[in-house]
A = this chain, B = another copy of it.
Amino acid sequence: MRVGICGLGTVGSGLFNLFATNHDEIGRKTKDAPQLVQVGCRRDHPDCDLSSVDVTRDVFEVARNPGIDVLVELIGGTDTAKDLVLGAINHGKHIVTANKALIALHGDEVFAAAEKKGVSVRYEASIAGGIPVVKAIREGLAGNRIDWVAGMINGTTNFILTEMSRPGSNRSFDDVLKEAQDLGYAEADPTFDVEGIDAAHKLTILASIAFGIPLRFDAMYTEGISRITSDDILFAAELGYCIKHLGVARRSGRDVELRVHPTLIANDQMLAQVNGVMNSVMVGSDAAGATMYYGAGAGAGPTASAVMADIIDTVRGTQVPNLGFNDLSEPNFTPISSISSSYYLRLGVEDKAGVMANVSTVLSNHGVSIEALIQKDARVRDAQIVILTDEVVESKIDAAISELESLDAVTSSVSRIRVASL
């Protein structure tokens, strides 16, 4: 089978080199080994010797090339990428892509076009890099009803929170973000990663293949990590938790919740051990129970590994519905105000008698019960109260917070972080 790569950045060059490095090993695993015949790229990559392949500066030439069976889309973005992929499908080519935004936002259109032309669209590399989690969900767990998916699927946010959590570090979000940028783990404009949009794209896809629902990025609740402080991390640790940026998709009957936000995770949970730029996805299912998948979520090698697996699946002719289901059913999306969770609350208070009683009364009046509490006096700075609540509907917490913030004795806005129940 003849392959054309569009885009020769980090992933594209990694894939190019993987074709060379593992040519023999891949040949042992396939009957009609994939052959790289063309690369479409605006500029060459210093790590790639392109002398053995046809090179074009116009990626659409790859889409039209009758000598190509599989087009690998690695140019990123959504506009040109969508035109390129739809063009290639129209010319009868199978697609392999690492583009989470393309699938999350335009997957319906792309899959419809592919089904009409009888070609496949694969996207393992769009989620969690080298971890074959799309395959695990669509195939490995296909006998299950999947009830929830929870994962750290963005290396940038996990790196930042891990660094902020190092014992004695006490570093601010802004400080660590700058380090992440220097190390190349975060973009110059980090919004996409640190505000959770990238993770939300990935979770949109995960929810579809887990539950058999349409791709609905707009139904996602998304919250980033930029408001997490070193105080939050210290207090969470004192309570036996770490703070991670978690994507959670959960269904119960026809109700589905989709959310990406900072989350307290108990230190004895497997997901709490996932540090640095590593990714991990946990899947809760009725027969297999909870299974977990862990590895590098980005980088040339891991992403190229996922792309190559998709190419090999294409060569082997593996037939799986694009989103794992023959037909998708529209669920009821639960608005974030209606989810249930335990919450971590942190509030600055005046250091005087009666404050704790006031706070407790407000919570109690809103039906919020307290599971654990830390009160720190004002020796160093403002007195702070940290509360872990029992599980309660989010709208009640919001109402309680509003009332707390109106109290004279409460001197700060209330930090609120959801607690994972895995």
A293 to B132, CA, bound (A): 10
Copies assembled: 2
- List 25 A-B pairs, Cβ < 8 Å: A14-B287, A22-B145, A25-B145, A28-B327, A30-B326, A130-B289, A130-B291, A131-B288, A131-B291, A132-B291, A135-B136, A135-B139, A139-B139, A139-B312, A142-B308, A143-B312, A270-B274, A287-B304, A287-B305, A288-B302, A289-B301, A291-B295, A291-B296, A293-B294, A318-B320
Taking a contact as CB atoms under 8 Å apart, the answer to whether A143 and B18 are in contact is yes
> Once the chains are docked, how many angstroms separate the CA of A301 from the CA of B324?
21
CB of A124 within 8 Å of the partner chain:
yes
Contacting pair B22 A143 (CB below 8 A): yes
What residues of B have a CB within 8 angstroms of the CB of A296 in the complex? 288-291
In the complex where A28-B212, A309-B142 touch, is A21 in contact with B286 (Cβ < 8 A)? yes
Contacts A135-B135, A318-B320 known; list 17 others, CB within 8 Å: A22-B286, A28-B212, A28-B325, A28-B327, A29-B326, A124-B140, A130-B287, A136-B136, A139-B139, A140-B309, A143-B305, A270-B294, A287-B305, A288-B301, A289-B302, A290-B295, A317-B319
5 shortest interchain CB distances as A-B pairs: A132-B140, A143-B308, A130-B288, A291-B295, A288-B305
Give chain B residues whose Cβ lies under 8 Å from the Cβ of A376: none
Interface centre among A295, A308, A312, A313 (most CB of B within 10 A): A295
Report the interface size class on chain A: 35 or more
Q: Is A311 an interface residue (CB 8 A)?
A: yes
Main SS class of interface, A: mixed
Cα distance, A326 to B316, chains bound together (Å):
12
A273 at the interface (CB under 8 A from B): yes
B270 A141 Cβ-Cβ under 8 A: no
Closest to A301 in B: B287
Asked if residues A313 and B270 are in contact (CB atoms below 8 Å), the reply is no
Cβ of A285 within 8 Å of any chain B Cβ, yes or no, is: yes
Interfacial chain B residues near A21, Cβ < 8 Å: 145, 286-287
**A355 in the interface, Cβ–Cβ < 8 Å?**
no
A31 within 8 A of B: yes
CB nearest to A290 among chain B residues? B295
Q: Mark A19-52, 1 if CB is under 8 A from B, else 0.
A: 0011001101111000000000000000000000
Task: Out of B129, B140, B287, name the residue touching A18 (CB < 8 Å).
Answer: B287
CB distance from A312 to the nearest CB of B (A): 5
Contacts of A285 in B (CB 8 A): 305
Per-position 1/0 for A184-221, Cβ under 8 A of B:
00000000000000000000000000001000000000
Scoring A residues 101 to 116 as 1 if CB is less than 8 Å from chain B, else 0, what string do you get? 0000000000000000
Chain B contacts for A392, CB-based, 8 A:
none
- A144 is an interface residue with CB less than 8 A from chain B: yes
Name the residue among A135, A143, A321 with the largest chain B CB count within 10 angstroms. A143
